[in-house]
Amino acid sequence: MPRILFHLVVPAAISVCLVALALPAGIHAQSDVAKVYKKNCVLCHAADGSGNSSSGKALGAKDLASSEVQKKTDEELTEVIAKGKGKMPAFSAKLKPEDITQLVAYIRAIPKK
């Protein structure tokens, strides 16, 4: 490998990545609840709430727009998020009550998208 590549390009690439590390996590404008959803829910429920992520399919994650989910009351949804249910873990130790309340509202808005 040419020496110039080793001495210039590689350190430059590493530097760019380290700068990327230092950048704020969400450089795009995003509401707080959207960030909470992305950080905690997307892994299984997918960005659109469909549950069609690879891990969501394997675990049988619910489609948040489905009537099965939407017919639940806000209190029931809050309890599922806080305490977990089935394969879904509890988030009460991580999320504040107001975050969970906002998530419930976010879930309610999914079918309207």
Name the residues that contact other proteins, by CB under 8 A. Answer: 1, 5-6, 10, 13-14, 17, 20-21, 25, 28, 32, 38, 40, 42-44, 47, 53-55, 57-60, 84, 87, 89-91, 93-94
15: which 2 tokens?
């530097």
Residue 34 Cβ, how far from other proteins at the closest point, in Å?
Answer: 13
Residue 25 Cβ, how far from other proteins at the closest point, in Å?
Answer: 5
Say if residues 63 and 49 touch (Cβ distance below 8 Å): yes
Cβ proximity to other proteins: between 40 and 70 the closer is: 40
* N-to-C CA span, the chain: 51
Cβ proximity to other proteins: between 36 and 69 the closer is: 36
Nearest one of 111, 7, 112 to 64, comparing CA atoms: 111
The torsion angle over the Cα atoms of residues 95, 97, 99 and 103, rounded to 10 degrees, is 100
Residue 1 Cβ, how far from other proteins at the closest point, in Å?
Answer: 4
Buried b (16+ CB within 10 A) or exposed e, 67-81: eebeeeeeeebbbbb
Cβ proximity to other proteins: between 53 and 69 the closer is: 53
Residue 69 Cβ, how far from other proteins at the closest point, in Å?
Answer: 17
Cβ proximity to other proteins: between 56 and 107 the closer is: 56
